[in-house]
Amino acid sequence: MKEKKAQLKIQQMSFMLIAVFVFFMLVLLFYLVISLSGLKNTAKNLESDRVAGMITKIASTPELIFEDQPYSIDADKLMVLKNQPNYLSFLGINGLTVERVYPKVKGVECSLGNYPECDTIKLFTDNEETESANEGAFVALCRKVSIEGRAENKCELARLLINIKPVGK
Amino acid sequence: MNYKKSRYGLSKKGFEMSFAWLFAIIVGSAILILAVYFAVKLINTEQNGVNTQTAKEFANLFDPLQTSVEESKVAAPLELMTETQVYTSCNPSGEFGTNIIRLAERSTFGDKNFTKPGEEISVNNQYIFSENKIQGKKFYFFIKSFNMPFKIADLMIVYSEKYCFVSPPALLNTEIGNLGGESHNIIIKDSVNGCGNAVTVCFNGEKCNINVICSTDDCESGVVKKENKEIYFINSLIYSAIFSSYDNYRCNVQRIAKRLSHLSELYADKARFVSGKGCETGLYGDMVVLKEAAESYSKLEDLTQIDGLAREIKIKNDNLICQLF
């Protein structure tokens, strides 16, 4: 009778300890889930801050800027940069597209053969679809033109879109 | 209970511990030890995450702070919740080199020492000039555009200490005055005596923490003497030389030379490209020479020679009808 009572106490104690252990594990899991979901949101917010800053930065980077004019992109430099993919990692982007908004010519992509009679200059990207269509900004797309033997600057309205590297890739 | 005497006369009376007690103590302490171990691990991981996240935010801060037409930009100071150490280093290897930022916050538990720095955040398109380790709750920034002869980079200057400029040359006096003044921990005085415990920067040969020896009246080039090191500068690099550690400065200037080499190549290609469209600049050859000079950069003293080439190119470009940059 005495032995049976002791066995029952041990069992009670074991169950109690297991229950306490499981309870703490559940609390830990709950905490981890909450904190990880917070981490995801933080990463998203950081990413969106990064993109907003990056567009401003790219529009005024010396490799793209037109004669130190703010928010003006040099179309001639873009055409030259088409052959220099080493800038891809430097700018921290997957690709860049500059779309002429006005006046639109034919909606065709620029190449050395059809430039400047074209609308879209794509750098470092072959994607048909621009992944970050929402992450764009309006800029002036400028180039040198010869008018009656005189060189002049010609600027047109364009939209700068960037394809960014997702966080963790 | 019926206690018996042993045959040696000793009493067997004592504390009787049942198996249930023993089991509870052993398993209980195992659980407690495990719980404490995981809690400590979790706090450390969390702190590492916070340090890394703050370092990333710190690096992101610079992105929208680029200059375009303006020569310099003063950013609002960054005020953190807790005292923080910011470690900045630089790696010149690779095509453009990198700056590395690490952060350590002061712990809010126990001994309140600084925690272990978080993960490294590296940036390859920014040039951060600061001491190797800066510490405080408030950090100050300003950005200077660096042109040679076209814009090459934005110099990001970060500091936390108070700097006192003693009798700077007239042109610099105006520039320094525009760096935010006392609210940005920068003061200008006529003599070291008025500087208090700020880091003193002298231009007149007084005994200061940092001494600037200008080669020209407007201080467009010269040497900054700091911690027994002679740091050569040109143009806006004077601020980088003053606010940065020697190692960070030397490495970042090397990175800037690499970028100059790439940009000169880009402008050489552009010169050739636009010449076929009625814009003959005649600067292709000069750009190639500038690219080669930047490529062969090896020490700070080389800056003067490259700057000489850049000035010649600037004069030629300014006189062009169809300018290259």
B310 to B101, B149, B288: CA distances (angstroms): 32, 5, 12
* Angstrom distance (rounded) from CA A49 to CA B57: 9
- Among B60, B262, B273, beta carbon nearest to A50: B60
- Name the residue with tokens 């996240």: B53
Residues A124 and A131: beta-carbon distance below 8 Å:
no
Candidate from A57, A74, A87 with C-beta closest to B64: A57
Which residue of B lies nearest to A167 if distances are taken between CA atoms?
B56
Cβ–Cβ of B279/A144 closer than 8 Å? yes
Domain membership of residue B150 (yes or no) is: no
DSSP B115-169: PPP---EEESS-EEE--SEEEEEEEEEEEEEEESSSEEEEEEEEE-S-EEEES--
**Whole-number pLDDT of residue B15:** 66
Is residue B302 included in any domain, yes or no?
yes
Please list the pLDDT of chain B residue by residue as tens digits (325 residues).
444 455 555 555 666 777 778 888 888 899 889 988 888 888 777 778 888 878 877 777 776 666 666 677 888 888 888 899 999 999 999 889 999 999 898 887 667 788 888 888 888 888 999 999 999 999 998 999 999 989 999 999 999 999 999 989 888 888 888 887 888 999 998 888 888 889 999 987 778 899 999 998 888 899 999 988 999 999 999 999 999 999 999 999 999 999 999 999 999 999 998 887 778 888 999 999 999 999 999 999 999 999 999 999 999 999 988 888 8
Residue B218 CB burial class (10 angstroms; 0-12, 13-18, ≥19):
exposed
A contacts of B262 (beta carbons < 8 Å): 86-87
**Do B68 and A81 lie within an 8 Å CB cutoff?**
no
Q: What is the pLDDT of residue B290?
A: 95
Both tokens assigned to A77: 């430099």
ipTM of this predicted structure: 0.73
3-state class (DSSP) for residue A119? coil
Say what the pLDDT of residue A135 is.
63
In three-state secondary structure terms, A99 is strand
Q: Are A90 and B46 within 8 A, CB to CB?
A: no
The pLDDT score that the predictor gives to residue B81 is 85
pLDDT at A169 over 50: no
Separation in Å, CA of B290 to nearest CA in chain A? 16
Contact status of A138 with chain B (Cβ, < 8 Å): no
Residue B313: domain span: 251-318
A115 inside 8 A of chain B by CB: no
Q: Parallel, antiparallel, or unpaired for β A120-123 and B199-202?
A: unpaired
- CA of B256: how far to CAs of B81, B145, B261, B274, in Å? 34, 12, 9, 26
Cβ contacts (< 8 Å) between A9 and chain B: which residues? 18, 20
Tell me the C-alpha distance between B52 and B123, whole Å. Answer: 14
B231 in a structural domain: no
A130: pLDDT strictly greater than 50: no
As beta bridge partners, residue B142 has B74, B157
Q: Is residue B299 part of a domain?
A: yes
pLDDT digits 0-9 by tens, A7-46: 777 788 888 888 888 998 999 888 888 877 777 777 777 7
Is any Cβ of chain B less than 8 angstroms from the Cβ of A45? no
Contacts of B67 in chain A (CB under 8 A): 60
Return the minimum-mean-pLDDT range out of A59-63, A75-79, B154-158, B238-242: A59-63
Residue B44 lies in a domain: no
- Asked whether the predicted pLDDT for residue A129 surpasses 60, the reply is no
Question: Which residues of chain A have a CB within 8 Å of the CB of B23?
Answer: 10, 13-14
Asked if residue B264 belongs to a domain, the reply is: yes
Does residue B157 lie within any of the structural domains? no
* Interchain contact, A91 vs B125, CB within 8 Å: yes
Domain count, chain B: 1
User: Is the residue at B151 inside a domain?
Assistant: no
| Contacts by A19-23, CB closer than 8 A, 24 or more apart | A20/B31, A21/B31
Share of chain A above pLDDT 70, in %: 87
CA geometry: angle B190, B194, B195, nearest 5 deg: 100
> Looking at residues A47-62, what average pLDDT do you find?
77
Q: Which residue of A has its CA nearest to B272?
A: A80
Instruction: Compute the nearest-CA separation of A129 from chain B (Å).
Output: 26
Of B20, B124, B269, the CB nearest to A90: B124
Locate all alpha helices (DSSP H) within chain A, ordered by sequence.
2-59, 75-81, 87-91
Nearest CA in chain B to A89: B124
> How far does A69 lie from chain B, in Å, by closest CA?
6
